[in-house]
Amino acid sequence: MSDVTTDRLVPAVAVARSNRVLRNTYALLALSLLPTVVGAWLGVAMHFSLFAESPLLAFMLFLGGAFAFMWGIEKNKHSGLGVVLLLAFTFFMGLMLSRLLQIALGLAQGGQIIALAFGGTSLIFFALAGIATHARRDFSNLGKFLFAGVLVLLLAGFANLFFQIPAVALAIAAVAVLLFSAYLIYDINRIVQGGEDNYITATLSIYLDLYNVFVGLVQLLMAFSGEKD
């Protein structure tokens, strides 16, 4: 095989591999939404609340559970167990989401708020996925900046557990929507550019992006609804 043929073949193989990872990621992402919905529905039906009287303890338990799942998923990302753990994780996240949904549903326009947040999250996903897939630019240089942003966001959220300042909570929600929207572009573009070749890990990343965008939108819409929970 000539060098010219080889030079043409290698990029073609890389593109085919990236497309396969992207397809598998989107398929698993769609599947992962089902346990999330089931977990959220059960949580709302059972009035689930993880130590509502102690936000700090609830926050720490949530982070501990989430990181334990993510560690297990990463360790088993090359086996079927990784898929099982991912689906269990999305059920857990749906259950954790139910408290926010209960508060939203307690408002007169709660159903509309949740529907608008879901629609907004879907629009953001399809728009940014299109940009990340078709843009010729490599967005990998955003990684360190976005990671630093997540750390700042976590610290701000942790601090506001003590201060309970509504304006700060609103700012955190707005920044979360912007930050994880940017993460969507980064994570999908990594697959397209060949930087991520495991569809389980890729699904986990994109799922977390969408989850945080949705939560942020629900919180913003609740705040701007003019109602008090």
- What is the mean pLDDT of the segment spanning 98-114? 92
Q: Please tell me the predicted confidence (pLDDT) of residue 54.
A: 75
Q: Please tell me the predicted confidence (pLDDT) of residue 10.
A: 46
If one compares 158 and 203, the residue with the highest pLDDT of the two is 203
Output phi, psi for 195, to 5 deg: -80, -15
Q: Please tell me the predicted confidence (pLDDT) of residue 5.
A: 45
Q: Which amino acid, 63? A: L
pLDDT above 70 covers a percentage of the chain that reads 91
pLDDT above 90 covers a percentage of the chain that reads 64
Q: What is the pLDDT of residues 134-169, one digit of tens each?
A: 877 878 888 889 999 999 999 998 888 887 888 999
If one compares 209 and 3, the residue with the highest pLDDT of the two is 209
Cβ(113)–Cβ(225) below 8 Å: yes
pLDDT band (50, 70, 90) for residue 8: very low
Domain definitions of the chain by residue range: 3-31+96-224
pLDDT at 215 over 70: yes
- What is the mean pLDDT of the segment spanning 72-93? 96
pLDDT at 104 over 70: yes
pLDDT band (50, 70, 90) for residue 12: low
Question: Of the ranges 59-63, 81-85, 87-91, 126-130, which one carries the lowest mean pLDDT score?
Answer: 59-63
Q: Concatenated DSSP letters for the chain? A: --HHHHHHHHHHHHHHHHHHHHHHHHHHHHHHHHHHHHHHHHHHHTT--SSTT-HHHHHHHHHHHHHHHHHHHHHTTTSHHHHHHHHHHHHHHHHHHHHHHHHHHTSTTHHHHHHHHHHHHHHHHHHHHHHHHH--S--GGGHHHHHHHHHHHHHHHHHHHHH--HHHHHHHHHHHHHHHHHHHHHHHHHHHTTS---HHHHHHHHHHHHHHHHHHHHHHHHHHT----
Question: Of the ranges 46-60, 97-111, 163-177, which one carries the lowest mean pLDDT score?
Answer: 46-60
If one compares 144 and 91, the residue with the highest pLDDT of the two is 91
pLDDT at 1 over 80: no
Q: What is the pLDDT of residues 28-66, one digit of tens each?
A: 999 999 999 999 999 999 988 876 667 778 888 888 999
- What is the mean pLDDT of the segment spanning 77-81? 93
If one compares 226 and 78, the residue with the highest pLDDT of the two is 78
Q: 141, 219, 133, 207: which is closest to 176 by C-alpha?
A: 219
